[in-house]
Structure 1
Amino acid sequence: MTQQHLFSSTKAKNYKLFGFYLLILISLLYPVTAGAADITQQLHRPKNGFFRQPSRDDADSLLRVAEQQYAAGYPEKAIDAGLQALDIFHLVGDVKAKGQTYNLLAKAYIQLGRYKEGEDALRRHLAIARDTKDFQSQIFALNNLGTLLLQYGEPKIAGETIEDAYTIADNVKNIEGEGLSLSNLGLVAARLGDYNKAIKLYETALIFRRRTGDTQGEINTLNNLGDAYLAAGNYQDTISSYGAAMRMAKSIGDRSNQLRAIDGLVTAHSAGGRYERAFDLLQERLTIAQELQNPREELNSFASYAKLYEQLGNYPTARNFYERAIILSQSLEDNKEEALLRDRMTQMLRSKK
């Protein structure tokens, strides 16, 4: 072998060896993307490198954290903790706890607008409830699934789903489930435009909800009843229903339902020409929003003021409130709402010319 050939052979070997070490270096710097299972294991692996099998207590703690985060208005964090709890419940074989966790995850997903993931979690909760013959969980899972389907614009399937829930509740004499199912069937009837049927269903639902002392459920049904009366043009009963909902919501500190009732009352009083009362209610609404330091609800209050002043033909004041609402929509980076408000203000200004 010539010296040149020997040099070439040695050089080739060196290149191969260099390439081998380069591949090792790249693999260290850029590891293969971990799968979901690997990430879950990393979350549960202590930093000291010693692996400890997660316990049921760990899962319970994570589920409590998830519930607290959801109640505090942090659905993303609730999902993070809930998924970790779910992994452990699966490892320890606690099927019932998995169902509870799926239920919480469903609510968090839906609150974030992640409806498909919410539906999947609800269906998994329902499947577990059926396997374990947990009738109460079946009733609530079916109702939640039905209302979600209603949001999808599928009232027929939603109605059938909620009817299944009502049948189970009636068979096992679960009064709470009967009240919930009847109230949700009222929502289906209202969505289909049958307001008289909706009113009857809501009124029957109220009987069950009052029998169980379900104040929160009663408030919700009263607001639904107010919606149905308003759609039917029955302003007297509209005001009665919303008024009862507003007072009850205020008594228990349910600000969300209180604001919803006020919105209905403003519409009803305005339609009846009772503008002074409508303005009093709007002032109350704005005060609540400011106390909550909730810019979204402040925006809604300003938009309602603008609409009412526009209705009265007071365009300069209406424009002022539209502009205040637009500023808040910009701070919230809500481009869609900003465009809607600008369009409404532009139409108003054109119409007055």
Structure 2
Amino acid sequence: DRASQASTHGNLAVAYQALGAHDRALQHYQNHLNIARELRDIQSEARALSNLGNFHCTRGEFVQAAPYYEQYLRLSPELQDMEGEGKVCHNLGYAHYCLGNYEEAVKYYEQDLALAKDLHDKLSQAKAYCNLGLAFKALMDFNKAEECQKYLLSLAQSLNN
């Protein structure tokens, strides 16, 4: 059935990526996305979008990664997966940070932080504060950068990390 085909394409993409066969991996990630959309399977589509974003991010192709993450976030109200949404916000913030789009990075890191707080996930909060601090530092907003690092330190101490 088509749903199994979509899943298989996703699994093959991961395998080909691990083997360094990037063109074949990309083809299978795209096939996964196309079938998920054909089936109107929002969960599978979101997985494919996140995987495509991650694929491009790991290759340093941040311009190509961002639209996949943005499409995922447009689906997120239907997904009701705050943890997944937080990860995508983190990844999109990272992509923008690497591209020098620090204001955009802050926007997505702040969304990641808000979701981590809603989930009471202290480790994700700490990571978000760390990333926010770096983005604010890049924007030369040293007061906000310091504030973020203080929150990070407090959370790290509470996690004994």
TM-score class, shorter: 0.7 to 0.9
Distance 1:147 1:277 in 2: 39
Distance change >3 Å, CA 146–CA 275, structure 1 → 2: farther
C-alpha deviation, 1:186, in angstroms: 1.4
Give the corresponding residue for 1:189.
56
Higher relative contact order (CA 8 A, sep 6+): 2
Letter in 1 for 2:3: F
Distance change >3 Å, CA 155–CA 282, structure 1 → 2: farther
CA contact (8 A) 1:162 1:181 kept: yes
Say whether residues 1:241 and 2:93 are aligned partners: no
Say whether residues 1:135 and 2:3 are aligned partners: yes
Give the corresponding residue for 1:171.
38
Distance 1:265 1:200 in 2: 21
List runs of 5+ in structure 1 lacking aligned partners. 1-132, 295-353
Give the corresponding residue for 1:278.
145
C-alpha deviation, 1:293, in angstroms: 2.5
Could you tell which deviates more after superposition, 168-177 or 149-158?
149-158
Distance 2:12 2:136 in 1: 35
C-alpha deviation, 1:143, in angstroms: 4.0
List runs of 5+ in structure 2 lacking aligned partners. none
Give the corresponding residue for 1:225.
92
5 Å-filtered alignment, 1:200-219, equals 200-219=67-86
CA contact (8 A) 2:126 2:151 kept: no
CA contact (8 A) 1:155 1:191 kept: no
Distance change >3 Å, CA 282–CA 142, structure 1 → 2: farther
Give the corresponding residue for 1:266.
133
Which of 291, 295, 299 is matched with 2:158 structurally? 291
Distance change >3 Å, CA 142–CA 220, structure 1 → 2: farther
C-alpha deviation, 1:267, in angstroms: 1.5
C-alpha deviation, 1:147, in angstroms: 4.9
Could you tell which deviates more after superposition, 191-200 or 239-248?
191-200
Q: How many residues align?
A: 161
In the TM superposition, what whole-angstrom CA distance separates every residue of 1:234-257 from its partner, at most 9, and x where no partner exists?
Answer: 111110010111111111123343
Q: What is the CA RMSD across the aligned residues, in angstroms?
A: 2.6
Q: Taking every aligned residue pair, what percent have the same amino acid on both sides? A: 27
C-alpha deviation, 1:260, in angstroms: 2.8
Distance change >3 Å, CA 249–CA 182, structure 1 → 2: same
Letter in 2 for 1:286: L
Distance 1:256 1:152 in 2: 31
- Normalised to the residue count of structure 1, the TM-score between the two structures is 0.41
Letter in 2 for 1:223: H
- Normalised to the residue count of structure 2, the TM-score between the two structures is 0.83
